[in-house]
């Protein structure tokens, strides 16, 4: 394959002559070009972006692509440093994410890679970039631990677990939550993470946890667990599951006579589709989100306005995180002062150091602070379902 | 709360039994596991959803069309995955693989037509939406109807096998296919009918499960297949009352685990019960032991 590294034997004894000639030519060329080019910085940066534009999770990539396109066209209109963004589809698979990474790293010589979409893909492809020392900027992955792959992995996507304490605080103040039960999907890493974050936040706020029940991904019948929860006499049920199970849990709870129980939940609650499908069952539910349409800081107001004009629809948190990521990378690119004569390896190294040096960033998400693991922290917003619509909970 | 849990278990058990009835019919007579049963079940749910939501059909019409469609699907299944292999003395594995292959095709076609996400039935299209209070239990009329439908259908199936002409052919086939053919039983026709009946049952189970839990997706057949196999092993392969008993037993084991132990062990408990049964009575609760004779 074209991507294979030459093995040591293939540049062995027979070819020594040719290789040394080649080296001499390169060296001579370098000597003549270097002194002049050292002051000049690059005017175009080639970056790669790989997302699931087809396949089972492709539904999330529409707003991401809009966020990419919008940010790139705005940034390139300014004219100082152009971004040449290569888009590739990984068909929602790990294998294709790996293939595209290899293409970006070796053939296209991209300085940085945006994406892929989901945690599993990052754990598969990310190590390739780390080994090749190519910076990666994730804009959608909320799975804990992805930046642990290595110091070349960055993200603007916020781990939902980090904003869960805000939900608990709001529930305590606004719903007078005192005694809760928890229900979560125990074969889904993401949901287990949310469950644990909730458990810790509830304990920290002195809220009594009457019990915890589990469901599995793909379950449709939750009646046994919910009947058990009904007997616990709680005022609030904490739901840590993905969208389809969350909808089932909330609607079936109402049917089993849990009429007065309030729901608070994680990331799944933020999805407009979940709010619509759960309908009246979800009225009054609280959840925290890293970004919300109605957030009132100026950058967000302007972003939402421009996005609506351009795409005739509302952006979501993925569009916001992706848009911020592009601006962040642009800022780092400019600060890195990459020389025209710098090799790709040097340029990638400079960009990484420059990204790592940015500790706070004012974006559409509000003020983003990056911790020492390169994970973003934001204040986020707590939202409430009111008359079937998501509003800021105040 | 216990009465509510018993109702929960009964309705879940009725559904498992209805799904497993078709599986056990095929397995009991032909000694073949039909791996595409779950795919037909999924088509029942997805097609009825499509008819009710996109075309706005009434539940009754949607059910009727789905029944016809799933019957035809059974015919297709038999003609493509099982009949071509029947003439060859191929053993158990090829039909298992060919039906598995067909089930994958059916899932992919469903993905293309209906999309990959979980779908919800339109509110106004769901029948029997009311609730009755029984003591401290809230019982959905829909779940009660599901229980009655499952019982009636399984009774009818049992009657068909035990009392009708087709049933006699089926029993003759089970005894000895070669002799049955010599005695004038149209073997191909009988087997085709069995697949039609089994697939109709799977389709009806799909419609009712989809509506009862207001959820359907192209992937819903996978977990049901596994439970279905557990049910027929537990109840005795080939026994229709065994499927009913097996379905109820598994549902009670699941819900009993949630109530008395922890929901963490729900699925594990089912398979512990299954393995216990295999150790104590390998032929299942109501299965007749088929000894291998020299």
- DSSP secondary structure letter of residue B260: I
pLDDT at A25: 52
Q: How confident is the model at residue A24 (pLDDT cuts 50, 70, 90)?
A: low
B223 touches chain A (CB under 8 A): yes
| Residues of A whose CB is below 8 A from B255 | 224
**N- to C-terminal Cα distance for chain A?**
58
As a whole number of angstroms, the distance between CA A365 and CA A367 comes to 7
d(CA A154, CA A351): 12
CA atoms within 13 Å, Cβ hemisphere of A16: 3
Query: Is B72 in the A-facing interface, judged by CB distances under 8 Å?
Result: no
> Token pair of B219, please?
């992937």
Which residues lie below 8 Å from residue B191, measured CB to CB, with a gap of 6+?
B30, B78, B82, B83, B86, B173
Cis amide leading into A116 (omega within 30): yes
Q: Are A248 and B213 in contact (CB < 8 Å)? A: yes
* Domain map (residue ranges) of chain B: 21-221
Residue B142: name the closest of B121, B119, B164 by CA: B121
Question: Tell me, what's the pLDDT at A23?
Answer: 52
Q: How far is it, in rounded angstroms, from Cα A174 to Cα A372?
A: 34
DSSP state of B208: H
How far apart CA A136 and CA A157 sit, in angstroms, is: 12
Res B266: pLDDT:
86
Is A230 part of the contact surface with chain B (CB cutoff 8 Å)? yes
- Residue B206 is predicted with a pLDDT of 94
The single-letter DSSP state of residue B261 is I
Residues 6+ apart with CB under 8 A from A179: A207, A208, A210, A233, A234, A235, A236
Query: CA-nearest residue of chain A to B210?
Result: A220
Residues with Cβ within 8 Å of residue B90, at least 6 apart in sequence? none
Q: For residues A102 and A3, is the Cβ–Cβ distance under 8 A?
A: yes
**Beta strands across the sheet bearing A376-377:** A360-363, A366-370, A376-377
Task: Provide the residue count of chain A.
Answer: 394
Q: What is the pLDDT of residue A57?
A: 80
The predicted model gives B18-22 an average pLDDT of 92
pLDDT of residue A16: 47
Tell me which chain B residues have a C-beta less than 8 angstroms from the C-beta of A216: 266-267
Cα separation, A262 vs A260, in Å, equals 6
Distance between CA A348 and CA B26 in Å, rounded? 62
Nearest CB neighbour to A244, from listed B118, B258, B266: B118
| Residue B57 DSSP SS3 | coil
Contacts of B50 (CB under 8 A, 6+ apart): B113, B114
Residue B226's φ and ψ, nearest 5 degrees, are: -60, -45
Cα distances from A74 to residues A88, A303, A307, A310, in angstroms, run 21, 11, 12, 12
pLDDT in tens, A270-316: 887 889 889 999 999 999 989 999 999 999 999 999 999 999 999 98
Q: What is the pLDDT of residues B79-113, one digit of tens each?
A: 998 888 877 766 778 888 899 999 999 999 998 99
Residue B213 with chain A: CB contacts under 8 Å: 220-221, 248, 252
Q: What pLDDT is attached to residue A35? A: 45
Six-digit token string for A260 = 């007065």
Show which of residues 116-155 on chain B sit within 8 Å of chain A, judged by CB atoms.
116-118, 120, 123, 131, 138, 140
Quick check: A42 and A339 in contact, CB under 8 A? yes
Which pLDDT band holds residue B293 (cuts at 50, 70, 90)? very low
Q: Give the model confidence (pLDDT) of A242-252 as tens digits.
A: 888 999 999 99
- Residues A136, A141, A142, A144: is their CA dihedral positive or negative? negative
pLDDT at res. A22: 52
Work out the average pLDDT over A215-240: 92
CA dist list (Å): A231 to A211, A221, A239, A251, A293: 11, 18, 17, 18, 38
Q: What is the pTM of this model?
A: 0.77
pLDDT of residue B139: 84
Residues in chain B: 294
pLDDT per position as a tens digit, A105-123: 999 999 999 999 998 899 9
Q: Which residues of A touch B220 (CB under 8 A)?
A: 218, 220
A214, B263: Cβ pair inside 8 Å?
A: yes
pLDDT of A44? 94
Burial class of A373 by CB neighbour count within 10 A (0 to 12, 13 to 18, 19+) = exposed
* Half-sphere exposure of residue B274: CA atoms within 13 angstroms, side-chain side: 19
* CA–CA min distance A383, chain B (Å): 24
**Distance from C-alpha of B231 to C-alpha of A181, rounded to nearest angstrom:** 32
Q: Which residues of B touch A221 (CB under 8 A)?
A: 8, 12, 213
Phi and psi for A159 in degrees, rounded to 5?
-65, 125
The encoded tokens of residue B197 equal 């009946």
A388 CA: distance to closest CA in chain B (Å): 15
With cut-offs at 50, 70 and 90, classify the pLDDT of residue A372.
very high
Residue A18 pLDDT: 56
Q: Using one digit for the tens of pLDDT, what is the confidence trace for A175-190?
A: 999 999 999 999 888 8
Query: What is the average pLDDT value for chain A, to the nearest integer?
Result: 88
Closest A-chain CA to B137: A256
Percentage helix, strand, coil for chain B under 3-state DSSP, each rounded to 5: 75, 5, 20
pLDDT at B247 over 60: yes
Looking at chain B, the whole-number percentage of residues with pLDDT higher than 70 is 97
Do residues B269 and B257 lie in contact, with contact meaning Cβ atoms separated by under 8 Å? yes
Q: What is the mean pLDDT of residues A369-373?
A: 93
Is the Cβ of A192 closer than 8 Å to some Cβ of chain B?
A: no
Q: How many CA atoms lie within 13 A of B23 on its CB side?
A: 36
């Amino acid at each position: 394959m074209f991507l294979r590294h030459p093995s040591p034997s293939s540049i062995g004894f027979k070819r020594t002559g040719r290789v040394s000639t080649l080296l001499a030519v390169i060296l001579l060329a370098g000597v003549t070009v270097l002194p002049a080019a050292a002051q000049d910085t690059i005017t175009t940066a080639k970056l790669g972006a790989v997302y699931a534009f087809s396949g089972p999770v492709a539904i999330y990539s529409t707003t991401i692509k809009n966020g990419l396109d919008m940010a790139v066209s705005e940034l390139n209109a300014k004219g100082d440093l152009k971004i040449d963004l290569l888009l590739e589809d990984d068909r929602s698979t790990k294998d294709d994410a790996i293939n595209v990474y290899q293409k970006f790293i070796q053939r296209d010589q991209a300085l940085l890679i945006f994406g892929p979409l989901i945690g599993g893909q990052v754990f598969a492809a990310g190590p390739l970039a780390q080994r090749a020392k190519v910076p990666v900027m994730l804009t959608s992955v909320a799975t804990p631990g992805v930046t642990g792959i290595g110091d070349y992995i960055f993200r603007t996507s916020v781990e939902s677990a980090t904003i869960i304490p805000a939900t608990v605080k709001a529930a305590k103040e606004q719903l007078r939550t005192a005694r809760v039960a928890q229900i979560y999907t125990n074969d889904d890493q993401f949901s287990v993470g949310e469950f644990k974050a909730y458990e810790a936040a509830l304990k920290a706020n002195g809220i009594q946890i009457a019990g915890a029940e589990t469901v599995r991904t793909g379950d449709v019948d939750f009646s046994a667990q919910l009947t058990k929860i009904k007997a616990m006499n709680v005022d609030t049920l904490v739901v840590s599951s993905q969208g389809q199970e969350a909808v089932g849990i909330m609607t079936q709870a109402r049917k089993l006579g849990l009429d007065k129980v309030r729901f608070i939940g994680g990331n799944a609650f933020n999805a407009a589709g979940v709010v619509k499908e759960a309908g009246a069952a979800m009225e009054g539910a609280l959840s925290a989100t890293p970004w919300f349409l109605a957030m009132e800081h100026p950058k967000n107001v302007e972003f939402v306005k421009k996005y609506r004009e351009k795409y005739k629809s509302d952006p979501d948190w993925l569009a916001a995180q992706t848009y911020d990521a592009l601006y962040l990378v642009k800022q780092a690119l400019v600060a890195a002062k990459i020389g025209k004569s710098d090799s790709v390896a040097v340029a990638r190294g400079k960009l990484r150091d420059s990204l790592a040096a940015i500790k706070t960033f004012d974006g559409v998400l509000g003020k983003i602070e990056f911790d020492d693991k390169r994970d973003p922290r934001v204040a986020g917003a707590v939202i409430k379902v009111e008359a079937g619509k998501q509003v800021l909970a105040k | 709360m216990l009465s509510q849990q018993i109702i929960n278990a009964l309705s879940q058990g009725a559904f498992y039994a209805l799904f497993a009835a078709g599986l056990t019919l095929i397995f009991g007579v032909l000694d073949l596991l039909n791996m595409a049963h779950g795919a037909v079940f999924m088509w029942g749910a997805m097609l009825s959803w499509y008819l009710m939501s996109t075309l706005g059909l009434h539940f009754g019409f949607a059910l009727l069309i789905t029944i016809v469609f799933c019957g035809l699907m059974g015919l297709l299944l038999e003609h493509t995955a099982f009949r071509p292999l029947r003439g060859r003395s191929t053993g158990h594995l090829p039909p298992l693989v060919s039906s598995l292959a067909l089930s994958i095709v059916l899932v992919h076609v469903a993905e293309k037509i209906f999309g990959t996400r979980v779908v919800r039935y339109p509110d106004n299209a769901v029948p029997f939406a009311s609730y009755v209070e029984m003591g401290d239990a809230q019982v959905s009329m829909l779940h009660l109807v599901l229980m009655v439908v499952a019982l009636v259908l399984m009774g009818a199936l049992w009657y068909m096998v035990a009392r009708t002409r087709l049933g006699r052919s089926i029993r003759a086939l089970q005894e000895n296919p070669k002799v049955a053919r010599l005695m004038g039983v149209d073997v191909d026709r009988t087997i085709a009918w069995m697949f039609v009946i089994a697939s109709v049952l799977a389709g009806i189970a799909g419609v009712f499960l989809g509506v009862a839990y207001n959820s359907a997706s192209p992937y819903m057949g996978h977990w049901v297949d596994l439970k279905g196999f557990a049910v027929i092993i537990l109840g005795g392969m080939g026994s229709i009352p065994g499927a009913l008993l097996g379905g109820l037993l598994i549902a009670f084991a699941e819900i009993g685990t949630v109530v008395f132990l922890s929901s963490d062990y729900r699925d594990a408990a089912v398979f512990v019960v299954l393995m216990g049964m295999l150790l104590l009575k390998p032929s299942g609760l109501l299965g007749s032991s088929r000894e291998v004779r020299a």
